[in-house]
């Protein structure tokens, strides 16, 4: 069920090739969406948002539990030998970037008639991430959708359900950097464990 779906998504993220429009899935495969003109295959948003959210959280949690407090000392993840001094923080950063890129690719490589569906899907993923108190990956997904390449697709966004767009704007305000992430910190403190804090806030501390 949820675990199998999560494993499928994790493999898609971690086994990407230099052809970002292609994602390899093990059997049994979900029903793919195929663009008949380009023959590109879009698998992820034919899955369930909660499965993708659970997959993002599962992979991040594995790394997060290995992070030691020493890895945050003196901004060790920035300097020379960062992979030696702060290996797991570096790994978290790399995964964060991969997930953001993964979301961008799913939207930008979609056929025009499916792009709104992709945006809709990842807004729902972001809502699930908030629900399961995974603010780390919430930052990644919301950041990807707010990136210049996707946010400027006004006609595509116009096809997304208005209620979802409003929900997404609320999520954007939640992760905003205003007042040193005050809203985000307050929400995170109210979340029950287990929960994943956003890496940008940990790095600021």
Model confidence at 122, pLDDT cuts 50, 70, 90, reads: very high
CB neighbour list of residue 142: distance below 8 Å, 6 or more residues apart: 126, 168, 171, 172, 175
**Does pLDDT of 27 surpass 60?**
no
Residue holding tokens 């495969």?
Answer: 29
Q: What is the pLDDT of residues 37-47, one digit of tens each?
A: 554 555 566 78
Q: What is the pLDDT of residues 50-92, one digit of tens each?
A: 988 998 998 898 888 888 777 677 666 676 776 767 788 888 8
Q: What percent of the chain has pLDDT over 90?
A: 35
Model confidence at 26, pLDDT cuts 50, 70, 90, reads: very low
Q: Tell me what the mean pLDDT of segment 122-135 comes to.
A: 95
Q: Which domain range does residue 91 map to?
A: 2-204
Structural domains in the chain (count): 1
Question: What is the model's pLDDT at position 15?
Answer: 52
Phi–psi pair at 200, nearest 5 degrees: -55, -35
Give yes or no for a contact between 67 and 85, defined as CB atoms under 8 angstroms apart.
no
Give yes or no for a contact between 6 and 55, defined as CB atoms under 8 angstroms apart.
yes
Q: What is the pLDDT of residues 153-193, one digit of tens each?
A: 999 999 999 999 999 999 999 999 887 788 888 999 999 98
- The tally of CA atoms less than 13 A away on the side-chain side of residue 79 is 9
CATH number at residue 199: 1.10.840.10
């Amino acid at each position: 069920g949820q675990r199998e779906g999560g494993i499928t998504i994790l493999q898609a993220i971690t086994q990407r090739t230099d052809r970002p429009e292609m994602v390899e899935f093990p059997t049994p495969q979900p029903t793919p969406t195929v663009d008949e003109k380009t023959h590109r295959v879009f698998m992820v948003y034919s899955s369930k948002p909660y499965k993708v959210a659970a997959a993002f959280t599962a992979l991040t949690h594995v790394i997060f539990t290995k992070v030691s407090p020493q890895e945050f000392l003196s901004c060790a993840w920035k300097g020379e030998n960062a992979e030696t001094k702060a290996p797991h923080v570096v790994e978290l950063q790399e995964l964060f970037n991969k997930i953001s890129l993964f979301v961008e690719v799913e939207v930008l490589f979609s056929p025009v008639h499916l792009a709104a569906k992709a945006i809709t899907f990842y807004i729902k993923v972001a809502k699930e991430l908030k629900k399961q108190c995974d603010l780390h990956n919430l930052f990644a997904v919301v950041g990807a959708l707010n990136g210049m390449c996707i946010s400027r697709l006004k006609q595509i966004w116009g096809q997304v359900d208005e209620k979802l767009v409003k929900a997404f704007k609320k999520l954007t305000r939640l992760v905003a950097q205003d007042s040193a992430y005050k809203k985000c910190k307050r929400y995170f403190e109210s979340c029950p464990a287990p929960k994943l804090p956003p890496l940008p806030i940990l790095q600021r501390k």
